Structure 1
Amino acid sequence: MKRNSFRYLWIGQALANSGDLFYIVGLMAIIHGITGSAMLMAMIPFVTTMARFISGSFAPVLMDKYSLKSLLASSQIGKTAVLFLLLVTYYVLGEQEVTVYAIFGFVFLISFLDGWAVPASHAMLPRLVDAAELTKANSFVALVDQLIQLGGWAVGGLLVVAMGGSNVIWLTFALALAAAVFMKMVEDRHEAAREQKGKAGGSNWSSIQEGWTLIWRQPSLRAIHILYVLETIAGVIWIAAIIYVYVADVLHREEAWWGYINASFFLGLMLGGLFGMRGAGLIDRNIRKFVICSSFGISLMTFGFGVTSVPWLALVFSAGFGIFEQLKSVSLQTTLQRSVSIHLLPKVYAAQSAMVSLVFGLSTLLFGYITDEFGVRATYIIAAMVLFVSGCYALGIRTRLPELGEGPEQVRIGTE
């Protein structure tokens, strides 16, 4: 974990993630100032999800032609250019309704570029650290991301008040540019072999299918991604719209409690990340048990959160959910990275990104309907049931999850 390239990768990711968060806050402030419409503000995450699904579907074609480092750097450079065009457009058109629709177009382009950067970043990490340090490295990167998420929304809000929405976009532009510089500094020890391989043969369609086919045909990968899908379906309960209803209808508290719940959730994620770093060896030796126990733990926390009307208990359950969620995420991430060769891993992550984006988008609509028709308590109880099924499934397929003793050379799919 002390290698410079790993340091450049996580710093670049941290800058990019901070910029993404700030620009969303800035854009929402601009859209609210122009229209005052909550629905149009909510369109930003929807457009983001759909763009990432489309881009993630076609990412394998680019991964066959270019190195992961090139994709990461070009994504950030492209986002920098699009952010500049967004700012120019805003100043030219001014605060009118057509500006909002232009903003949606730029959001789509930025998210489209993220659609290949996210899987490329995940696939790059195992190339930069030793296999024995994967759990620790994944926990560290997750911890940094959660620190940004925990403080970023508050900092972004303060920046909007102090600087204005458009100036926050300028800050995002600078962060994206800095992220691109750090991504260019990463040295991939496997890149030379990748360049020698050249522009891969075969049709674009076969390239797109490769990751999906691998996930479907390999029992261990199929099992891991069924867990990802189930968790993504239930994870929708933490979007702002549903939490907002929960605070008003179940806790009967003011809007500030929406922020308290989110803060406790991210605090739990951070604690889980810290445990992952300090207890990496323990997780490695018992990775199957951690996946199973955290799956049931998430279900229990979700059920408790949904049925309680006591505000402080809701905070406890929210933090507990975050702890178990982080432990499960790190365990699955490490298992996946150990199960697939580094050359096929980008394709698998690209398929995973597209899959999760599509499932999340559809689940948002489904749980929104359930909340409107049956109440927010029903939403959390159903989500807890889905997560319980996930735990039962994890228990049933535990033998498909490799332990540390089964080294990468024994369990990896598509080893070169």
Structure 2
Amino acid sequence: MKGKSFRYLWIGQALANSGDLFYIVGLMAMIHGITGSAMLMAMVPFLTTMARFISGSFAPVLMEKYSLKSLLASSQLGKTAVLFLLLITCYALGEQEVVTVYAIFGFVFLISLLDGWAGPASHAMLPRLVDAVELTKANSFVAIVDQLIQLGGWAIGGLLVVALGGRNVIWLTLFLAMAAAVFMKMIEDRHEAAREQKGEASSLNWPSIQEGWILIWKQPSLRAIHVIYVLETMAGVIWIAATIYVYVADVLHREEAWWGYINASFFLGLMLGGLFGMRAAELIDRNIRKFVVCSSFGISIMTFGFGLTSVPWLALVFSAGFGVFEQLKAVSLQTTLQRGVSVHLLPKVYAVQSALISLVFGLSTLLFGFITDEYGVRATYIIAATVLFISGCYAAIIRTRWPEAGESATQGGGRTV
């Protein structure tokens, strides 16, 4: 974990994540200032999800042609260029023109396409830069950094918008993307030399696109992990802003500030889970199957409690508890996946995972939004908790299908050095 390349990766990713968060806050402020429409503001996360699904689907073609380091750096450089064009467009059209909003949507889609391959490439790069025995600790550390950014970033972004204005926050994001690209370029990947090929552009390579899907379907451990991911992604949409807002108003009968308190307690739980993951990395490694099963049931219990309680302080406790169990489960599954797949196949697996989760999340948002409107927000949380309970039962039944520490998967597995 002390290697320079790992340090460059997490610093670059932290800068990129901070920039992404600030740019969303800045764009939301600009769209709200122009239109005042909540629906148009909601188009930003929708476009982001759909673009990442499309990009993630075709990411294996790029990963086969270029090194992960090049993809990470080019993603940030591409975002720098798109953000610059966005700013030029805003200056040209004016910040009070509705047409500016539709231009913003186009740029949001382009940026999210770039993110669609950056996320899988970053996840796949991590196990190349640390020793196998340090994977749990490294994943926990990266998770803590990410949650710190998420916990403080929205508040800082809001302050920056007030102090600088939405357009100047976009300028800040542009410089953060440039800095992230520099750090990504300094990474030294000992597993894969830069292999960018010059010449004619590659055509659509269907076998390359299908390889990750086929690997996940045929390898029992990967199939099991991704069934859990799909079930928990479906239920995870209960934590989006729209659902929490209804919960605070209809169940807790509190003012809007409690939406922020619940989110803060959730991210605090994620951080505590990450800290435990770092401190108890060896314990988790020895009992990684048990941690997946117990944390899956823990998430279900916390969701049931959260949905049924009308006591505000208990809601905060359940929200934090959900965060703790969610982080432990995420770190355990992440480490298991990284140990069970060759470092050369891992990028394609993560690309499939990104596309799959984006699609499931987008569709589940619509489904649970309908359930909330028709049957109330309590029903939403009870159904989500039931789905999470099913996920826990499934994890308990198939827990022997994935490797413990020191083992490797039988098909496409093992850490290829």
Instruction: Give the CA deviation at 1:194.
Output: 6.0
- Matching residue of 2:21: 21
CA distance in 2, matches of 1:194, 1:297: 44
Check whether the contact 1:65–1:199 (CA below 8 A) recurs between aligned residues: no
Aligned position for 1:212 = 213
With over 3 angstroms needed to count, the CA separation of the structure-2 counterparts of 1:182 and 1:415, relative to structure 1, is: closer
Question: In 2, Cα distance between the equivalents of 1:155 and 1:91?
Answer: 25
**Counterpart check, 1:311 vs 2:323:** no
**Secondary structure at the residue paired with 1:246?**
helix
Classify 1:120/1:295 alpha carbon distance in 2 versus 1 (closer, same or farther; 3 Å): same
Deviation per CA, 1:71-90: give whole Å up to 9, x if none.
Answer: 00000000000000000000
What are the residue-to-residue correspondences of 1:175-254 with 2, within 5 Å? 175-192=176-193, 204-254=205-255
2:238–2:368 CA contact under 8 A, matched in 1: yes
> What CA distance in whole angstroms lies between the structure 1 residues aligned with 2:345 and 2:215?
9
Contact 1:344–1:414 (Cα < 8 Å) also in 2: no
Structure 1 runs not aligned, ≥5 long: none
* Match of residue 349 from structure 1: 350
Q: 1:413: Cα distance to partner?
A: 2.1
**Matched residue, 2:144:** 143
Shift of 1:101: 0.4
Q: Partner of 1:66 in structure 2?
A: 66
**3-state SS of 1:192 partner:** coil
Q: Distance in 2 between matches of 1:49 and 1:287?
A: 30
Aligned to 1:4: 4
Residues 278-317 of structure 1 mapped to structure 2, 5 A cutoff: 278-317=279-318
* Pair 1:154-2:142 in alignment: no
Deviation at 1:379, TM superposition (A): 0.2
CA offset digits 1:277-335 (Å, max 9, x no partner): 11000000000000000000000000000000000000000000000000000000000
Question: Percent identity of the aligned residues?
Answer: 85
Partner letter of residue 70 of structure 1?
A: S
Give the Cα–Cα distance (whole angstroms) in 2 for the partners of residues 373 and 142 of structure 1. 36
Structure 1 position 404, deviation (Å) = 1.0
Work out whether residues 66 and 199 of structure 1, in 8 Å CA contact, stay in contact via their aligned partners in 2: no
Counterpart-to-counterpart distance in 2, 1:374 and 1:320: 26
Q: Secondary structure at the match of 2:172?
A: helix
Instruction: Indicate the residue corresponding to 2:399 in structure 1.
Output: 398
Structure 2 partner of 1:329: 330
* TM-aligned CA deviation for residue 405 of structure 1: 3.8
Distance change >3 Å, CA 6–CA 156, structure 1 → 2: same
Deviations 1:156-180 (A, max 9, x none): 0000001100000000001000000
Between the aligned partners of 1:360 and 1:52, the Cα distance in structure 2 is: 11
For the structure 1 residues 165 and 389, does the alpha-carbon distance in structure 2 shift closer, same or farther, using more than 3 Å as the test? same
**Pairing 1:106–2:92 present:** no
For the Cα contact (< 8 Å) 1:402–1:411, is it kept in 2? Answer: no
Structure 2 CA distance for aligned equivalents of residues 289 and 119 of structure 1:
26
**Matching residue of 1:276:** 277
Across the two proteins, how many residue pairs are aligned to each other?
Answer: 414
Determine if contact 1:224/1:332 at 8 Å carries over to the other structure.
yes
User: In 2, Cα distance between the equivalents of 1:28 and 1:193?
Assistant: 38
Q: CA deviation at 1:401?
A: 1.9
Matched AA of 1:182? F
How far did residue 414 of structure 1 move?
A: 7.0
Q: Give 2:350's aligned amino acid.
A: Y
Looking at structure 2, the residues matched to 166 and 203 of structure 1 have their Cα atoms a distance apart, in angstroms, of 37
Counterpart of 2:360, as a letter, is V
CA distance, structure 2, for counterparts of residue 140 and residue 200 of structure 1 = 38
Tell me the alpha carbon deviations over residues 377-415 of structure 1, each in whole angstroms, 9 at most, x when there is no partner.
000000000000000000000101211142x48786276
AA partner of residue 288 (structure 1):
R
Structure 1 residues 308 and 55, CA gap change in structure 2 (3 angstroms): same
**d(CA) in 2 for partners of 1:200 and 1:91?**
35
List per-residue Cα deviations over 1:50-83 (Å, max 9, x = no partner).
0000000000000110000000000000000000
Q: Quick check: 1:64–1:200 contact (8 Å CA) kept in 2?
A: no
Secondary structure at 2:255 match in 1: coil
Structure-2 separation of matches of 1:193 and 1:35: 46
User: Tell me, what secondary structure is at the counterpart of 2:193?
Assistant: helix
* Distance (Å, rounded) in 2 between the aligned partners of 1:378 and 1:322: 21
> In the alignment, residue 148 of structure 1 is paired with which amino acid?
I
1:308-365 Cα shifts (integer Å, max 9, x gaps): 0000000000000000000000000000000000000000000000000000000000
Change (3 A) 1:201 1:49: closer
In 1, Cα distance between equivalents of 2:176 and 2:194: 31
Determine if the alignment matches structure 1 residue 413 to structure 2 residue 405.
no
Which runs of 5 or more structure 2 residues have no equivalent in the other structure?
A: none
Partner Cα separation in structure 2 for residue 200 and residue 220 of structure 1? 35
* Aligned partners of 1:335 and 1:401 also within 8 Å: yes
Map Cα deviations across residues 236-294 of structure 1 (whole Å, 9 max, x no partner).
00000000000000000000000000000000000000000110000000000000000
Aligned with 2:189: secondary structure? coil
Contact 1:21 1:152 in 2 (8 A): yes
**8 A Cα contact 1:230 1:390, kept in partner:** yes
Shift of 1:190: 1.0
Alignment map for 1:258-273 (pairs within 5 Å): 258-273=259-274
- Counterpart code for 1:314: A
Separation in 2 of the partners of 1:82 and 1:410?
Answer: 43
The structural deviation recorded for 1:191 is 1.7
Report the residue type matching 1:333 in the other structure: Q
SS at match of 1:352: helix
Q: Does structure 2 retain, via aligned residues, the 8 Å contact 1:12–1:179?
A: yes
> 1:200 offset after TM fit, Å?
13
